[in-house]
Amino acid sequence: MTKARIAVLAAIDGAEEPLSASGVAARANCDCDQATVYRALHHLETAGFAESFVLNCSEHGTERYYVSAKGPHRHWFHCEGCHRFVDLGACRIGGLVADLESELGLRVTRHTMYLSGLCAECSARSAPRAGAH
Amino acid sequence: MTKARIAVLAAIDGAEEPLSASGVAARANCDCDQATVYRALHHLETAGFAESFVLNCSEHGTERYYVSAKGPHRHWFHCEGCHRFVDLGACRIGGLVADLESELGLRVTRHTMYLSGLCAECSARSAPRAGAH
DNA sequence: GTATTTTTGCAAATTGTTCGCATTTGCTCG
DNA sequence: CGAGCAAATGCGAACAATTTGCAAAAATAC
Ligand SMILES: [Mn+2]
Ligand SMILES: [Mn+2]
Ligand SMILES: [Zn+2]
Ligand SMILES: [Zn+2]
């Protein structure tokens, strides 16, 4: 492992939410070039240390986000208000994916699932006392 | 409705699989500029005539794909071999999304789910007679 | 039909990401 | 501990999808 890859891996392993390439570059404890960050992320994903998904958010545009591959595969919610991610916990669609695979004769090597909208906080802030006293 | 928007809507309404902006431009019966296609797609989605999702494929890169909003909301499988989409049918994760919404206090306005891998044909082609006589 | 509002075409700009290539680093081995 | 080499990095240019400014053209309103 090179210094750059170690720093990039530490950044995503230590993050509590998915990070974009620029987010990784900002948090990584190294002054590596952005090309190096991209190459390191690609390498880490290929090597099984990271997972990624492409998400579009009205404010941040379309970017690829990376998460650590430690622990069980999980999914995320992205808040369009505060732009934070909420962990949806371990994947719950393994059964559905397996069903679709056998129903349609597919060989699924990857699935992407994420939700977006407003998190509890932003939801309360934008629609105060909905049903409250 | 303008001529360009009508042509773009006809293209996605008539397609049997999600189309990228360039795919729409190729199929739309109009010589409109790419900027017009992008603007028309954005308008149609905002107006509720179309839905979209961003998908990354090793060969085509990251692109936004559009589908008609007619009929029930559905999900897709993308084959990394022949690059066709397979219709996974009407959405089956509405219950899961609702559960996550209430469990975590989220207000989900949109969900993205798609699978990728090899379709039945490409799978058979790449791993012939797996289990066959 | 004329005035007003929208939409379009064109070309340039943006933005996330990738590439070429010379230089450096990480490792293996003697 | 170096020398030798393959792999990784920095830098700047290149890319590709998408967006934008602005003047001309098309819809829509009156
Ligand atoms: Mn965001
Ligand atoms: Mn493809
Ligand atoms: Zn929020
Ligand atoms: Zn296929």
Decide if pLDDT at A130 tops 60.
no
β-strands A107-118, A74-79: how paired? parallel
Which residue matches tokens 């699935």? A111
User: Tell me: the pLDDT tens digits for B94-114?
Assistant: 999 999 999 999 999 999 999
Distance CA A93, CA B97 (A): 11
Residue A126 tokens read as 């934008």
- Amino acid identity, position B39: R
DSSP for chain B? --HHHHHHHHHHHH-SS-EEHHHHHHHSSS---HHHHHHHHHHHHHTTSEEEEEEEETTTEEEEEEEE-SSS-EEEEEETTT--EEEEEE---HHHHHHHHHHHT-EEEEEEEEEEEE-HHHHHHHSTTSS--
Paired strand residues for B77? B86, B115
Output the pLDDT for position B127. 78
A interface with B, Cβ–Cβ below 8 Å? 54-56, 62, 64, 77, 80, 86, 88, 92-93, 96-97, 100, 104-120, 123
Options 3.30.390.30, 1.20.1250.20, 1.10.287.3510, 1.10.10.10; which CATH number does A3-126 get?
Answer: 1.10.10.10
Structure-token match 């002054």, residue found: A31
Higher pLDDT pick, A132 / B22: B22
pTM listed for this prediction: 0.94
* CA B83 to each of CA A30, A57, B58: distance values in angstroms, whole numbers, following the listed order: 38, 25, 10
Bridge partners (DSSP) of residue B108 are A117
pLDDT in tens, A63-112: 999 999 999 999 999 999 999 999 999 999 999 999 999 999 999 999 99
Rounded CA separation B50/B66 (Å) = 7
CB neighbours (10 Å) of residue A15? Answer: 17
Structural contact between residues A85 and B93, judged by C-beta atoms closer than 8 angstroms: no
Spell out which residues of chain A touch residue B123, defining contact as CB-CB under 8 Å.
Answer: 105-107
Break chain A into its structural domains and give their ranges: 3-126
Cβ <8 Å between A54 and B64: no
Low-confidence residues of chain B, pLDDT below 70? 129-133
